[in-house]
Structure 1
Amino acid sequence: MTSSCRPSADDPAALSAALAGIVDRMCRDTDRGKVADYIPELACVDPRQFGLSICLCDGSQLNFGDAATPFSIQSVSKAFTLAVALGRFGEGLWRRVGREPSSNAFNSVVDLELEQGKPRNPFVNAGAIVVTDEIMAGRAPRDALAEILWFVRAAAGDNDIFIDESLARSEKVTGHRNWSLAHFLKSSGNLKHDCELSLGTYFHQCAIEMNCIQLARAGRFLAGLNAGDELVSSNHVRSINALMMTCGHYDGSGEFAYRVGFPGKSGVGGGIMAVVPGKASIAVWSPGLNRFGNSRLGTIALEELSLAAGWSVFSVD
């Protein structure tokens, strides 16, 4: 995939200085949000941490703060599993999951019941469970997970990416709402495998551990920064970016689009992977969440970056 490459600032030093200022402000902010304490393994994460990494179209990468500290990517993984599923099944995937935003929380049962068991989009939990279930078609969970992990490693160009088994086990024991979603999907005929198999695979994909440096590199295919790479077709990249813009931050997606103005996918681990097509792939991490379940300071940092660099896709100047 090719794209024009216009600098986002007068020079790399100016962009680096702007980013350093943003990170410094985020590190000094005393309102850091609330960590996802309903997942025991995430409840003890230090909310004072903040990391940011950005890959630019000239091949350079800028890292700040706790960019090298690993964290659970949680629902950021849904962008990768969607890419895998689209690559394997194409447009047929949309028979099982919709493409519309939700006005309810990411783990709500309401939309699922109203839509007779068809999730609103692939980024709410019910939709992601269906996508994972589709990837499993005809295979054991370990084989589906192997493909997902292979894809993430290939996108990042880094084999040092693994699944946190203790976190996956923790989510399996405490993820009661996800169990209810899986059973509702099963009762509606929209889950092909046993709930335990599909959910076990889903919990493991959410427990993938990465740092901002790896995550920013993994998002390059969505920003069009690795020309000639056939990992994902340009049509599927377009689809994923559109859905990240409209659905990537759950019932806070409209707010994120308004404030930041480019596609992104969040996770309750505090990570956000965002892309500015043709310009940059960005990963930011701050464990404290806002009321929508998205990183509070991560969102603010991306808003400040968007304004400083003029990167909103809605800008007309």
Structure 2
Amino acid sequence: MTVVFECVHAGERHFGLGLPGPEAPLRLYPLGGDTLAALASASDDTTEALLDRLTRDRAPVEAGRDEVRLLPPLLPTHLGDALVSGFMMTHNVKVDAEVPDQPNWFVKGLGDVLKVPGEPLSVPADAVHVCEEAEVVLVYVGDSQGVPRYAGYTFGNDLTDIGRFKQHAGHLSYAKLCDAGVAPWLHLGEPPRSVTGEATIERDGAPAWKGTFTTGSDALHYELPALMSRLFAYRALHHPGRVHYVYLGADRSSFHGGFRTADGDGVTLDFTSHGVRLSHPLAWSS
């Protein structure tokens, strides 16, 4: 599976290829004023042709991990050009035969709610019961006509005030207004059918709760192509260059395990099947 990522190095945007090891230096290509989103969505190239076009005539440089700031995949320079949203109650373990043919959709915010590993995830001060949600995240870019075109997938943590939603089902929109963790690695190719891993919550430097999770398109109650085509049939979501990050829902979380998170807890989602790890501290807003 081919992976691309973007970062800021020496004050300029660069991109790299592959899923780097935690200690390995990064081989980076300067964007030189271009945007990776525009370059990656400019044509229907094969993956090999796309990578050749991306790297052609760009001299690579090497940088240590402490010399770069990793970015969410394809993040626009103007954060208002990114829309972060998702679906709830999508997984087989959460639904039954009586569910509607399209699950509830929600908006988490614009590009500034996306946090890469290491950055704090902000929680509203009056949150009732916050939990992690390990999810596949689909990334789309609006073409010249504004139609969202699939670019690839990554992984994320759709942090949710599930306690508020449980108190009042109509308050889903408020429950989702927490920051969202996202991996910087964009996987080129079809969304994964099966994803497995483990969530760990640390408190005062020690594990306080652990649980496994399963996601991917095989775990969904809905057919993914139909789910996305129906969502993007709405013209209100069409805008040239807009980057969409769509969180596909989770199966189980620490909430279902009876655990209550708190300010300062560290949440790690290890997407073991795909070699991706997200770690974030939780920070209740003042």
Please report the TM-score for the alignment, with normalisation by the length of structure 1.
0.23
Q: Which has the higher strand share?
A: 2
Which structure shows the bigger proportion of residues in helix conformation?
1
TM-score (norm 2): 0.25
